[in-house]
Structure 1
Amino acid sequence: MSHKTDPIPHAVQDEDHPVATSTAAIADGVDEEVVEPNRRVFAGWQFLLFAGLAIAYSGFHLFSLNIYPIETWSFRIVHIAGALILGYGLFAGARFAESEAVASPAWLKGVALALLIPAAYTLFQVFMMHQTLSGGAMRIDPAIESLHFGYPLMATTAAAIVLSWFLRQARHRFNPADLVLMVCALATAGYLLLIYNTPLRASTGTSFAPIGISWAAIAGSLLILELTRRVAGLALVVISAVFLVYVFAGPYLPGFLGYPGLSLQRFFSQVYTDAGILGPTTAVSSTYIILFIIFAAFLQASKVGDYFVNFAFAAAGRARGGPAKVSIFASGLMGMINGTSAGNVVSTGSLTIPLMKKVGYPARSAGAIEAAASTGGQIMPPIMGAGAFIMAEVTGIPYTEIAIAALIPAILYFASIYFMVDFEAARKGMRGMRRDEIPRFSHLVKQAYLFAPIIILVAALFMGYSVIRAGTLATASAAVVSWISPHKMGIRSILKALQLAGTMSIQIIAVCACAGLIVGVISLTGVGARFSSLLLGLAGVSQLLALVFAMLISILLGMGMPTTAAYAVAASVVAPGLINIGIQPLVAHFFVFYFAVVSAITPPVALASYAAAGISGDNPMGTSVASFKIGLAAFIVPFMFFYSPAMLMEGSALQILRVGVTATLGIVLLSGVVQKWFFGPVNGIARLVMLVGAMFLIYGGIYTDIAGLAIAAALFVLQRRQFASSPHPT
């Protein structure tokens, strides 16, 4: 990380020299921009150029969403093309050269520069085709589309991608191969904009479709896959490649996986439409996600993130194991607005993990707690990361209804983590932070107005404003509120926020476009329907077996992928099957969403856990196993949706209240089972009884609730009697 070299403040580094006052903030730099290892750091005219592009990109979305909307497909094509151009400008395809002496040889750069000629030629051909169609022609000659546009574009894109893997330069230098890719992205978008704004758009997916659409779609898919590799790693790219292979290998596969097959032209002439790349995932990233990234950037510019973390320290720092509880509150607050589990770990964990280790948590526990808490930020209403917006788009269920339904599950998840860390702190006799080690609550309350943008967002949503209008109001309010805070936003700060938003959006837009490619394969090959029939067959044997299978597939599809992509893919493959076996759409999609989220802490590929291990210094696999245990409730709660829909606010007020209270008690017992502690140490037999009681309470039935409450009451009485006179830590 570039923005913190020593995350432990001076006030907590030396217990023998406490400071005299606690008004000073602990968190400082939470809102600083994190510079990824493969992101270029420019200076001079290059910095101004890409800063200007990022500002223009963010400004384009604000203008189009609020003032002058443009045609849907055109808007989404520009949305993806802008991210590709910015992404290839800012993110390198290979490790940076540590010095000019070890940079790639000049001839390799010369080859890259030579590729600019065919790239520019394809862009020129787009202009010529525009002239031809403007002159009254009904379509372009297929030979011209292939020989003068398609073949050069394909060859240049593929060659530049491969070349970018081997072309190493210093971090502050621009890569000529990436310049070629930027021109190819421009040519691809230009051709698609040209064709999709003519009657030829209706021919996509048929034998009458212009061959150029297929060439542009192949080049565009390659560009999306390569950028996804750079900003999100190989996992999503490999899964996408498997799905793409399936398109052409499907006819040769046995059983339910087999299908008649699609030709290369027919598939690619349709995949870069709203059936695939321009479909639901890009629809959400080009509206809701980009808007909330801009909102988050404005909050960062006004230092609200620092305030959130300091507020959490003031509220929970003095409790036993204080920093661990701080990480729960801080990660919940930050996770609502930043949308990625691993990103949340990096922003808050660099502060909370060292402090947890200081009060007695082992490195593994500290990393696991932060990973589990940061992952929970994705399910915390009202914003819930980007996945909730995709859920609203796919299901047609209003976003406000989804946010309300998420309330009890989110409370259960964070209650589980809270009691896990509390029982561990009690078992190990850990202390909280001293009064002089945390900010003074009375001092922070005076700045409670910094919560105003989030309150305005929630109020606007529940008053019936559209998500776009509510997000825009909240963004504007973040700037206004800053004017009465110590970090006032002027023109420079607003431009900086827009630049930050443009840069921050690259990863999620690439991921959504890549997920759209997978969604396109699923919809065009019909594999989702065949998976549904498989689930239906399993449900005939046992609905629980079908749910377990759906859980495993959702986690498998989500491993190594950001939440948004994980949910988008799982929603296309798994959710329709769950709906077909009789599960309500809201319950089915929440089931899939939860497991897509917790894939970030599920071994063996757990992105959030790996990010936390990098900060704590512990073994990544060990941290992922520990975070899996701490987040155990998240693997049980989705089954509660099925057996007790009141968990998602479906039912009478009394049913919802009963299920919420008893499930919370069940979560407390489950935490005690994992940590071997209730009001004192718990032996093997008592843990088994606690587990039974926890399952009864979590199940949600009236009789199981009564039995669970009886077990919990008996355990409470026995534990209090056993340890009333014992000097155990409390």
Structure 2
Amino acid sequence: MANVQQRADPQDEVGQVDVDELEHAASKRAHRRWERVLFYWLCAGFTAFHLIILTGPVILRTIDDAIGTGLYRFFPINIDQELFRAIHLAWGAVLGFGFFAIARGRGRDGVPWYDWLFIAGATACAVYMWRNLDDLQMNQGAVYETPDLLYSLVGLAVVFEFTRRTAGNALTIIATVFMLYAVLGHWLPEPLHHDKSLKDLWFAFPYIYSNLGIFGPTLEVSSTFIIMFTAFAAFLTRSKAGDYFNDLAVALVGWARGGPAKVAVLSGVMFGSISGSSVANVVASGSVTIPMMRRVGYDRATAGAIEATSSTGGQITPPVLGAAAFLMAEATGIKYAEIAFAAIIPCFLFYVACYMHCDLHAAKRGLRGLPMAELPRLGPMMARFYMLAPIVVLVWAFTEGYSAFLAAGLGMLACIVVSWFNGIARDDDGRWRWRRSDAVMGWRAVIDALELGAKDSIQLVAVCAAAGIVVGVIALTGIGGRFAYIMQSIAGNSQLLAMFFTMIVVTILGMGMPTTAAYAIAAAVVAPGLVQIGVPKLTAHMFIFYYAVLSAITPPVAVASIAAAGMAKADAWKTSWIAVKLGLATFIVPFMFFYSPTLLGQGDWLEIAQPLLSATVGVCLLACATEGWLGGALALPLRVVLFVGALCLIAPEPISDGVGLAIGLGVWALQKFRPPVVPRKA
């Protein structure tokens, strides 16, 4: 048995990880004093602007209906949707060029002159649209004037450089290829040839830089759902909900076998409501869980891999999910609340698999949990259960049919309210008093949360703008139908082969770009083909979303694993492969809900119960086969047999489920009742 050390080894301190180094192409720059003040207020104003536009009319109308003030009539908050998105993009780009340098190591001396030019260009594009909105909308998709061409060229240059700095080269290159295809595709042979009158540059560039391209559905999602829920996550963070979630996870399972690893799994679930970024989740919870795992005997690479895998699942955890889920709602026409509901069972299976891996690894290595005396007391933690109120309010607002914007706004308000309870504490004389502390959100803390929300959304603005280029070109040239034809040619009539092909494509895309971008492009290129061969729309898009998320732990470019390895001071390559092993069961989950859409909540509970039970047993058996442990060490032949049994439980057919369950019970019985091994005498 591994003994729990009473003191942490100094060598086991958490390594430093720069989130921006992993998630952004360029490095964050150091600002001069006046620039810090300027961009602080620009960030706060960016989030406040969206809050006012998206929730202001609803709030004023509600007050008007309740007490008849007439405020809504005198203070109408209306803005053209295309202009709103243009302001959103321009303001986001201003922040992007303000915070991110042109290249790594070039951001030490404040914002240089050429970035002020980019900032001016982004601002000028929004002003040009404001001044010429009617003409631009009248001419959209038809004919454009020379100033429109210049305006679109400047705007596209801003978008491409903004994307390169914040989202990396992969997405920028893909957007460039699609843009070139729009202009030069008439020279290509079939099946890529198109003839959409895009030979004329006067038409191509203004068309893409319009509501039919960049300012289309993807930027609509960025300017509404994403910014609101990113702000909600920032308010959760500032109200100290993240600290509470970590402490609660430690109190609940820190004592169990391999407890710190199970804490990482549980905190991964809870942090899913705070951040849609795998790397941010790793850094936030890993600073606590990785040292704890090292204390009870986990090696560095395994500790990092467990944290990477559990943190990656945060993006598929309802009710917030990752930013790509909002794009899914727009692309499918399905309400976001329904998508969040559909993600419940896949999320459950993901974390059951993670938990089983942690438990089996601890049993195999003889790892204990933390001493009870060192754990937070559960009683005081339960007394602070009010910290979950913002999540409860959000879910309640969804179920009551409130708009997603208003639900997020109510969640932010709940964050402020519950933070004030953090100021209640008992004095030395035993009296309860309220005192202001860092955990109480006053006006400055609210502004800080607004600023944090803007910072966290910068990359997503660029991603959605670049994805708009891809989506616009696909819709305009008909290349999407050609991709569907190519997929049908490769897969034939086999949906399984098509899904396997999709898994490979999405995983490759996810290696080189953020989850949101990988999903947006795959949804535009691959999803129509899947739907065309009979895959249900929700299943196809959820399948793509799931693998876009899992790409964060897939070598060779596994950003979550790299971040966790940096914190654990482990080898990144080894950590990545251990994360794949730990997550092997989770890689099978998308095929489970492909075979059984009821696992996406499609049906009544009686229809869902049987496939849910078989899927749960299946991921558990797969974890046992992968770890080589089921009540004891499994011999290689038994591991292979158990792996086959787990695969039988994937397809929701009574015969295959019966075979898989029989195999699992048989292996368990062999392990349970086999005679003890007597060592031979020398």
Q: TM-score, normalised by structure 2?
A: 0.88
1:77 is aligned to 86
CA contact (8 A) 2:183 2:204 kept: no
Query: Are positions 1:699 and 2:635 aligned together?
Result: no
> 1:396 corresponds to which residue?
333
Q: Displaced runs of 4+ in structure 1, greater than 6 A?
A: 32-37, 723-727
1:488-507, aligned counterparts within 5 Å? 488-507=440-459
Q: Any conservation in 2 of the 1:560–1:607 contact (CA below 8 Å)? A: no
Q: Could you say what secondary structure the match of 1:257 adopts?
A: coil
Instruction: Specify the alignment match of 1:39 in structure 2.
Output: 28
How far off its partner does 1:169 sit? 5.5
Task: Provide the rounded CA distance (Å) in 2 between the counterparts of 1:62 and 1:695.
Answer: 48
Name which of structure 1's ranges 74-83 and 601-610 shifts more when overlaid on structure 2: 601-610
**Paired residue type of 1:549:** F
Cα contact 1:594–1:634 (8 A) shared by 2 = no
Counterpart of 1:70 in 2: which secondary structure? coil
Structure 1: runs of 5 or more not aligned: 1-9, 16-25, 97-167
1:509 to 444, 454, 461: 461
Partner of 2:600: 648
2:526 maps to 1:558:
no
Aligned partners of 2:405 and 2:349: how far apart in 1?
Answer: 29
Shift of 1:238: 2.3
Structure 1 distance, partners of 2:202, 2:561, is 42
Opposite residue 198 of structure 1, the aligned amino acid is D
Which residue of 205, 208, 213 maps to 2:141? Answer: 205
Amino acid corresponding to residue 48 of structure 2 in structure 1: G
1:629 aligned partner: 581
Q: CA–CA distance in 1 between the matches of 2:362 and 2:459?
A: 37
In structure 2, the partner of 1:170 is: 108
1:179 correspondence with 2:174: no
Q: CA deviation at 1:319?
A: 1.6
* 1:492-527 CA-partner distances (Å, limit 9, x unpaired): 111111111122221111122122222222222222
1:43 deviates by 5.7
TM alignment of 1:112-123, pairs within 5 A: none
**Residues 1:300 and 2:309 are matched in the alignment:** no
Question: Which residue of structure 2 lines up, in the alignment, with residue 454 of structure 1?
Answer: 391
The 5-angstrom pairing of residues 273-672 of structure 1 reads: 273-486=210-423, 487-672=439-624
Contact 2:591 2:650 in 1 (8 A): no
Identity of aligned residues (%): 45
Coordinate RMSD, CA, aligned? 2.5
2:169 aligned to which of 220, 234, 241: 234
Structure 1 distance, partners of 2:147, 2:260, is 57
Q: 1:679 to 1:507 in 2, by over 3 A?
A: same
Distance 1:200 1:74, change over 3 A: closer
Aligned to 2:183: 248
- The verdict on how the C-alpha distance between 1:658 and 1:258 changes in structure 2, with shifts beyond 3 A counting, is same
1:334-371 deviation per Cα after TM superposition (whole angstroms, max 9, x unaligned) = 12321111221222223322332332222222222112
* Equivalent AA in structure 1 for residue 134 of structure 2: T
User: Equivalents in 1 of 2:527, 2:227: separation in Å?
Assistant: 25
Checking the alignment, whether the CA contact within 8 Å between 2:30 and 2:107 is kept in structure 1 is no
Q: Is the 8 A contact 1:221 1:517 kept in 2?
A: no
Partner of 1:90: 99
Per the normalisation by structure 1, the TM-score is: 0.82
Q: Secondary structure at the residue paired with 1:483?
A: helix
Deviations along 1:668-699, whole A, 9 cap, x unmatched? 00001111111111111111110111011122
1:225 is displaced (CA, Å) by: 2.2
Q: Match for 1:251: what amino acid? A: H
Q: Deviations over 1:540-578 (max 9, x none)?
A: 342221221122122222222111111111110111111
Measure, in 2, the Cα distance between the counterparts of 1:183 and 1:585.
Answer: 42
Counterpart in 2 of 1:217? 152
Q: Give the partner amino acid of 2:29.
A: R
Residue 60 of structure 2 corresponds to none
Code of the residue aligned with 2:568 in structure 1: it is S
How has the CA–CA distance of structure 1 residues 255 and 558 changed in structure 2, closer, same or farther, with 3 Å as cutoff? farther
Query: Secondary structure of 2:285's match?
Result: helix
Distance 1:438 1:492 in 2: 33
| Distance (whole Å) between structure 2 residues aligned to residue 271 and residue 472 of structure 1 | 33
Q: Distance in 2 between matches of 1:249 and 1:613?
A: 44
**Aligned partners of 2:278 and 2:308 also within 8 Å:** yes
Q: What is the 5 A alignment of 1:53-68?
A: 53-67=42-56, 68=77
Amino acid at match of 2:242: G
Deviations 1:384-436 (A, max 9, x none): 11122111111111112111111111111111111112111111111211223
Structure 2 unaligned regions, length at least 5: 57-76, 424-438
CA separation in 1, counterparts of 2:187 and 2:135? 36
Q: 1:69 to 1:610 in 2, by over 3 A?
A: farther
